[in-house]
């Protein structure tokens, strides 16, 4: 493994541990019908001058799914599961949900929280990793929304830490990896290839190479010899392979999906489909772990369940796409533990604590900005 020897998580900054009167689940948003698709894509690409004709070209996967992105229903389910977990622990705090690009918009949710009398809000963003689009861009959204709604000084928002290295995220993914390896082995045995080699492909969303190189602490870049975005994913992939008995001895690799924009602009590689094609000569099956995401949103369904699966089938490879964490009980419970790191009881003690499982010093993956320039956002 290439992680740092010490295990040091992020910790709430001074003043971030407090009594909170609301929790906000903050996400990307997605269309919920054919009439929503183009307006949604206009929101995603705002300021780039992309004509509707071009947006229609990239709307194919939404059109094929009735114009509906699964992400909104998945966020409703996650919100409900978190509310149940909070209630079971006797943590009496209401939970709200708001999106960057579709209803319920942050503007409406902020007003709703304020009208209900809430003033100090703890924010959970639906991304496990640190980066511009999962960190700074949300902070910018919050600042702009507070200004637009006239709620500056009225609402205080604190975003909780990233959680890719926490048990909340690692335990479900370890379970999914073990099940995926077992399934591919069963497929190979049924197909008369019991000794066929298996490779595990850990997949996440690609971002422009230049953007990746500018982001994050130099210390982490030096440890891993790569950009910080890739380093976070590589650390988790290595940890999962080391901790899952069923995966012992298998090869693994971090790969990317869903690049967009100008084809002349370099993005992080390899693309999952290119890697499957390259691996077809050496392996009989692949386990695809979509560990860059927390739910089965449109890009997971389209890019992996459709395109990557077809690529594997064309090359005669056994294929298993693992689930995302979704509302897995360990994920939900672990997220509430992380929220509890920031929430104080009447005696001034944190209500709970997460647990770092991926080795390394991640203490300077700040939640306070510093992640550089914008990148072309994925759709949800």
CA distance linking residue 72 with residue 36, whole number of Å: 13
3-state class of 88 per DSSP? helix
DSSP alpha helix (H) spans, 315-371:
329-342
380, pLDDT greater than 70: no
* pLDDT tens-digit series, residues 248-293: 999 999 999 998 877 889 999 999 999 999 999 999 999 999 999 9
pLDDT of residue 105: 98
CA distances (Å), origin 261, targets 95, 256, 352: 36, 15, 42
Strand partners of residue 97: 25
Across 16-25, 57-66, 98-107, 331-340, least confident range: 57-66
> Token digits for 26?
């903050």
- Mean pLDDT, the chain, rounded, equals 93
Same fold for the pair 7-161+328-361 and 167-321: yes
Note the Cα 168 to chain centre separation in Å: 13
CA distances (Å), origin 118, targets 24, 39, 80, 157: 11, 31, 20, 11
369, pLDDT greater than 60: no
299-318 in b/e form (b: 16+ CB < 10 A) is: bbbbbbeebbbebbeebebb
Question: Domain 167-321 belongs to what architecture?
Answer: 3-Layer(aba) Sandwich (3.40)
Higher pLDDT: 303 or 366? It is 303
Strand partners of residue 105: 99
Q: Are 174 and 240 in contact (CB under 8 A)?
A: yes
Higher pLDDT: 4 or 218? It is 218
pTM score of the predicted model: 0.93
2, pLDDT greater than 80: no
Q: Domain 7-161+328-361: which CATH class?
A: alpha beta
Higher pLDDT: 367 or 375? It is 367
Give, in degrees to the nearest 5, the angle at Cα 199 between 194 and 201.
145
Give, in degrees to the nearest 5, the angle at Cα 135 between 159 and 27.
75
Please, which residues have CB within 8 angstroms of residue 54's CB and are 6 or more apart in sequence?
none
What are the residue boundaries of the structural domains of the chain, listed by start?
7-161+328-361, 167-321
Where is 185: in which H helix or E strand?
helix 167-190
Residue 10: band (very low, low, confident or very high) from pLDDT cuts 50, 70, 90: confident
* pLDDT tens-digit series, residues 125-180: 999 999 988 888 999 999 999 999 999 999 999 999 999 999 999 999 999 999 99
Query: What number of helices (H) and strands (E) belong to the chain?
Result: 14, 10
* pLDDT tens-digit series, residues 295-329: 999 999 999 999 999 999 999 999 999 999 999 99
Across 26-30, 58-62, 167-171, 343-347, least confident range: 58-62
Percentage, residues of the chain above pLDDT 90: 82
Residue 364: band (very low, low, confident or very high) from pLDDT cuts 50, 70, 90: confident
Please, which residues have CB within 8 angstroms of residue 216's CB and are 6 or more apart in sequence?
130, 131, 227, 228, 229, 231, 365, 371
CA distance linking residue 308 with residue 185, whole number of Å: 19
Mean pLDDT within 98-116: 98
């Amino acid at each position: 493994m290439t992680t740092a020897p010490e295990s040091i998580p992020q910790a709430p900054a001074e003043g971030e541990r407090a009594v909170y009167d609301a929790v906000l689940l903050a996400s990307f948003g997605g269309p919920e019908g054919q009439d929503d698709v183009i307006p949604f894509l206009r929101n995603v690409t705002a300021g780039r001058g992309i004509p509707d004709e071009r947006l229609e070209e990239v709307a194919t996967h939404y059109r094929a799914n009735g114009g509906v992105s699964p992400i909104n229903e998945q966020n409703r389910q996650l919100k409900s599961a978190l509310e149940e977990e909070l209630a079971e622990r006797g943590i009496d705090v209401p939970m709200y949900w708001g999106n960057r690009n579709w209803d319920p918009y942050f503007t409406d949710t902020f007003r709703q929280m304020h009208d209900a009398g809430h003033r100090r809000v703890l924010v959970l963003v639906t991304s496990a990793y640190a980066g511009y689009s999962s960190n700074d861009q949300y902070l910018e959204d919050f600042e702009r929304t507070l200004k637009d709604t006239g709620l500056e000084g009225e609402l205080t928002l604190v975003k909780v830490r990233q959680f890719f290295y926490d048990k909340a995220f690692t335990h479900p993914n370890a379970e999914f990896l073990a099940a995926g390896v077992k399934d591919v082995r069963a497929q190979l045995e049924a197909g008369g290839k019991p000794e066929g080699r298996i490779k595990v492909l850990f997949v996440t969303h690609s971002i422009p190479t230049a953007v990746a190189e500018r982001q994050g602490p130099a210390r982490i870049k030096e440890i891993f010899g790569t950009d910080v975005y890739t380093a976070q994913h590589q650390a988790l992939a290595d940890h999962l392979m080391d901790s899952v008995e069923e995966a012992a001895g298998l090869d693994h690799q971090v790969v990317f999906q869903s690049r967009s924009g100008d084809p002349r602009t370099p993005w992080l590689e390899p693309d999952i489909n290119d890697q499957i094609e390259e691996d077809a000569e050496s392996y009989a099956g692949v386990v695809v772990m979509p560990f860059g995401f927390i739910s089965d949103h449109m890009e997971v369904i389209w890019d992996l369940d459709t395109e990557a699966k077809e690529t594997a089938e064309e090359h005669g490879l056994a294929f298993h796409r693992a689930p995302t964490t979704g509302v897995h009980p360990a994920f939900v419970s672990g997220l509430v533990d992380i929220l509890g790191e920031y929430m104080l009881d009447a005696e001034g003690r944190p209500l709970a604590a997460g647990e770092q499982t991926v080795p390394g010093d991640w203490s300077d993956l700040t939640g306070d900005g510093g992640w550089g320039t914008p990148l072309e956002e994925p759709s949800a």
